[in-house]
Amino acid sequence: MRKYYYLFILIVISCNVGLAQSRKSVSILGDSYSTFEGFMQPKTNSSWYSTTPKPETDVTSVKQTWWNKFIEENGYQLCINNSFSGSTICNTGYDKEDFSDRSFITRMPGLGFPDIILIFGGTNDSWADSPLGDFKYGGWTKDDLFKFRPAMAYMLDHVIHNYQNVEIYFILNTDLKKEINDSVKNICQHYGIACVELQNIDKKNGHPTIKGMSQISEQLKNFIAQNSNALDSNTIDSCW
């Protein structure tokens, strides 16, 4: 009898492992909107959200974040969340400081081996008045990468060529400058990257509330359901 009991346990474990391996993995490249203390890689990345209550937000659990809700509610698994609070896509940050230690284009190689990449950025480039620069799709110089448009193109070019056979989505925040919005949409169109334009997100101190997080997750889910076969595919790659 004991023999059959252990056989049953082994079957259950094998089924659970097989189920986990059949789920698509998601990596996130983001700023404060996508952070939560203790859940980013590298762990030294600065976080805006945490379990510590503060008046600036009502979000105090990772389960309330847009990315955790999106992953859990759609049967995905997290590969890597490489988000950094206050980061810009380009290397120019607030007060024109050099943000090359935290920019999206510096962190973009560190996303593991996911099936889906979600890039949620441009907010701090807009808020920090990072220089726009020109639309440029190759031959980038060091100086170019301190400007938003060429840095945005450089980033998308990198992820396309270095994360092959991966679904890539750019999430565009609300309430940004028109020139940032237009630039993002033009550059995404150039590279054939899907751009998810968010609408009417609830915020406090410029950051999503619990309600806003749910809205982001829901809008992203609806976009993917309407624009790809991502939710129905069973093709899986390992995160690491």
For 14-28, 139-153, 182-196, 199-213, which range has the lowest pLDDT when averaged over its residues?
A: 14-28
Query: Could you give the strand order of the β-sheet that contains 25-30, starting from the edge strand earlier in sequence?
Result: 77-83, 25-30, 116-120, 167-172, 194-197
Q: Please state, in angstroms and rounded to a whole number, the distance separating the CA atoms of residues 119 and 98.
A: 21
**pLDDT tier, 231 (very low <50, low <70, confident <90, very high otherwise):** very low
Per-residue pLDDT, averaged over 6-32, amounts to 64
Per-residue pLDDT, averaged over 56-82, amounts to 98
Q: What is the pTM of this model?
A: 0.88
Mean pLDDT (the chain) is: 90
**Structural domains of the chain, with CATH:** 24-227 (3.40.50.1110)
- Using the predicted structure, report yes or no on whether residue 109 has a pLDDT greater than 80: yes
**pLDDT tier, 235 (very low <50, low <70, confident <90, very high otherwise):** very low
- Using the predicted structure, report yes or no on whether residue 128 has a pLDDT greater than 50: yes
The pLDDT tens digits for 172-222 are 999 999 999 999 999 999 999 999 999 999 999 999 999 999 999 999 999
Per-residue pLDDT, averaged over 156-160, amounts to 98
